[in-house]
Amino acid sequence: SDWQEWDSATWDEVNSIVDEKVIDPCNTEDIPADRNVVDSKLVYKLKLNKDGTIDKYKARLVARGFTQIYGEDFEETFAPVTQLNTVRAVLALSLHYRLKPHHLDVKTAFLNSTLSHDIYIKLPPGITIGGKTHGKLLKSLYGLKQAARDWHKLQESFILGFDSRMKKSSVDPCLFTIVDGDMVAVVSTHVDDYIVATN
């Protein structure tokens, strides 16, 4: 009965992939014969409010990472996430120094990361981009084995490049700070979620 909601969520996701220029559509014959083609699928999730009512219908186009080939489609996959003790420390510092904490979330985060490998993808049945069922990935996609690593490298370079005073912690690679006179700012990253505390 709610197929229209799911259909709308599906095309919202496909449109965000087109808008972010994640895929360069191509025909099967445009893919080199010796290249692996990574499969993909749509994943659906019903997001609920605390009271159990429907918040939103969510669709996500994901690569089926298990169809990737090591050395051809990816190499390194490790990406750090912040430690729970770091989050506790940021919140404790916020209270002690009267910093204002904020929670931030990056929408379609992984779709912003560039790839270090040429990856060709087959779109799910019924989905086409520019009338084509295949494409070359220009940016990272959820489900790729290296997606979290690509995103971490991008966000780290962005945060450190945002302000020359920003320093990365030697204890937690997901903690960044500025302490300059009376100005204090702390950024703790966990994939695409952030706790930012500042005065």
Tell me, letter by letter, the H, E, C secondary structure of 117-156.
EEEEEECCCCCCECCECEEEEEECCCCCCCHHHHHHHHHH
Band (pLDDT 50/70/90 cuts) for residue 111 is confident
| Cα–Cα distance for residue pair 61/140, rounded to 1 Å | 12
The 10s digit of each residue's pLDDT in 4-49 is 999 999 999 999 899 989 999 999 999 999 999 999 999 999 999 9
Helix, strand, coil percentages (3-state) for the chain, rounded to 5, are 30, 35, 35
Say which residue the tokens 């909601």 belong to.
Answer: 5
Other residues' Cβ atoms within 10 Å of the Cβ of residue 83 = 16
| Cα–Cα distance for residue pair 127/43, rounded to 1 Å | 13
Say which residue the tokens 């999730």 belong to.
Answer: 45
Question: Rounded to two decimals, what is the model's pTM?
Answer: 0.84
